[in-house]
Structure 1
Amino acid sequence: MSRQTIYLASLFIALLCFLLPLSLSANVIEQVVVVVDREPYTLTDLKEYAKTRMGREFPAGDLDSIKDQDREVLEQFITEKLLAEEVKVGGIRVSEQDVDQYVEQIKERNRIGDEELKAALSREGVSTEKYRASIRAEIEKSEIINRQVRKRVNITPEDVERYYRLNSKKFTTEERVRLRHILLSLAQAAPSERHKEVSLQARQIRERTLAGEEFTKLARAYSEGAGAAEGGDIGWVKRGSLLKEIEEVAFQKLSVGEVSEPLQTSLGIHLIKLEEKDPGRLLPLSEVRGKIREELYATALEERYQKWLKTDLRKNHRVDVKLPGVVFRPEETKEGTVDSLLASASRRSKREEGGFLSYLNPLSYIVKETPIEGDEDQGQASDRNIVSIFGIPLFTKESVDDVPGDPLAPVERAEKATPKPEQKESGGFFSSVWKTLNPFSSDR
């Protein structure tokens, strides 16, 4: 073999060794991850989807041993493709006027003009055309879900009445009491002489109330607790909002109009007067009928949605995931009948998976939360809200109320309480606007 032949062979091998890794790298980048209805989608497609729609990287780990967060991206990606295909089959058409109206609603809600909208989009690297396309896709998706889910859910008056009967405790107002109190502050580490002095003063004040003196005047004169200026009035309170020692006396031992014996707590020595007592009552069906229907509707809607999403939708399409150990097939979910939901709707746990709201267009609907009971009611259901979107009740959630301060705390302690500063979002005007404009924002 000539030297020239050997040289050329060596050069060829060197080039091959150099190009082979590049070829393998290209194959990895363009690896087909999933085939949906004979349409292949590559790793690049998944990477772009995860970044633009979900604000994360894909994959987070090794594709040969896929992690839960990568499964979430993959499942949502596939679901988006299935919904898009359903839109085509359903012949859904969204006009330019629909998109224009949508954009106008966004501008009106956020009180911004065309230039501010363009600036917000530009800041996020999104063109107007791409933004309008995403709007169109979301409207189409909302319509197909509306056809397949919402229009197939119905709650009858009989369903509402059965739910009311089976969940009467939920619509019974809580026991509560209206109290006045006199607090004589006393540190737990105070000397015994001080304890005797304050205890004697408390007994003397109680004797004066028994002799006929007004509790309100004595509270204004001697009390060091909250509400002293109002005659010791601390208003209506429920169980769980008082110190244990005081709650036991107020709810179990006192009659209306009676003043307690001096009672010592960590705050000092108290005299408690029971002004009024409300044992609780069952709210009439007429007051809660609408809220019950909304809650049942929201529960049945979610059940129907999950069945359609995880079973019916998947049965209509062929999906082949090209990753080890990963399958995407219809699940054996059951659409609960209203009867089965009656006694359990109020105890449903929060879903970690995407609910009905996750696949609706978050920009064309206004979110509204409505307490299950009116503000004046004291029912156990008053700490739960119905979340509605343009009048469509979707689900229930716990309302987050401010935690009340101790109604019996000394005035000095209440005055020293420093409110927590409000946390402000960072990012300025455009970032806050973008969170509202972006149909795929994780903050929505």
Structure 2
Amino acid sequence: MKYRLLKVSLLSVTVVFSMLANAVEQSLDKVSVIVDQGVVLESEISDLVDGVKQGAIAQGQALPSDRALRTQAIERLILKSLQMQMAERMGIQISDPQLEQTIGNIADKDNISIDQLRKQVQADGLTYEVYREKVREELITGEVTRANVRRRVYITPQEIDTLVNLINQQGAEQAEYRLGHILIAVPSGATEEQISISRGTADKVLELLNSGSDFTKIAIASSSGPKALEGGDMGWMNVNSMPTLFAEAIQGEKQEALIGPLRSGAGFHVLKILESRGVEIVEIEEVNARHILVKPSIILSDQKAEQMLQEFRTTLIEGEEDFATLAKIHSEDPGSALKGGVLGWNDPSIYVPEFKAALSTLKKDEYSQPIRTVHGWHLIQLIERRIDDATEKRKEDRAYQLLFNRKFNEETDTWLREMRDGAYIELLDKKDL
């Protein structure tokens, strides 16, 4: 009997201690901040502060007081809560496959495997599950921010032009050229006839060079310039150190380009860009093609659509049909059918992979075999290829991206501040007031 009473008493004490432990645990994870329809827990604040401290210790950085750290952590968590609530209202979600792909990309960027990343996360004091959810939250807050801020960013053509000019100036300061120079001199006080003869000689020199004659030999034989015996080689020069006439003339020109004749008080100059460095030249291959698109349907099977285009190909090769006529009658691509299937000059990368791959194998005027893409069956003819200078387009794209990033960051700060100001925030812990 005594044993039974003792057992019951011990059990009661155990239950009491268990309840007290749970109460202590719950009190540690109390609600610290009410944020509109959400809350910030004390444990979230503590975890964030501890994480910042660990990072600072690892990097040897000094930190402000615990109170200042706590204030910053609370502000960060308030903004995250507001963003997550907005994401829920907007229906923004990150699926598990998307999450795993992102984590895979993080591992690839660090040149480690997923297992190594998992071990690294655990070594940092996090469980892998917690890490996954933190990554998910970052993806969601990133999406909701982009969705709300992107439409607030406006960039004018004038802003792009101004920045492109600045990029050009900076690039010009870094660019260096090794120029070949031939001077066909004009005597001081020359008559119109003498000037005309010199001009004719300069034109003849340029004609010979365009025909493949050796620049060095012609420079030694014909140039009146100071570097004639060196084959006209002026050596490496920055654009700011060469004559203004030359600097202006070579802008936008490529290596091996012949320039001139340029008129100055000394005579007529012919230049050749022998080499360049620090000069950004972007070239892309463009293709002009045409196609006939046939889409399979309930009436027209996949096999019949392919066979139909195969028959078109045969008749075209034999000269029995005209491509433009077939495209206008049969092609189901409304954008090109009325143009006889012509797609115009484009970077091949804009096309779907199968279409792009087919184009890469074609020679001028050649027809492809029927190919299947997500759009249907295509018969393609390559009209022509060309190399286009995309340097200015690349500079414009770069200028736009620089402006966008700068304005996006500015607008993000404004948007977050507006969202914070319009929210109901209540700090429940008196020490945070």
Q: TM-score, normalised by structure 1?
A: 0.37
The structure that is strand-richer by fraction is 2
The structure that is helix-richer by fraction is 2
Q: TM-score, normalised by structure 2?
A: 0.38
Instruction: State which structure, 1 or 2, has the greater radius of gyration over its C-alpha atoms.
Output: 2
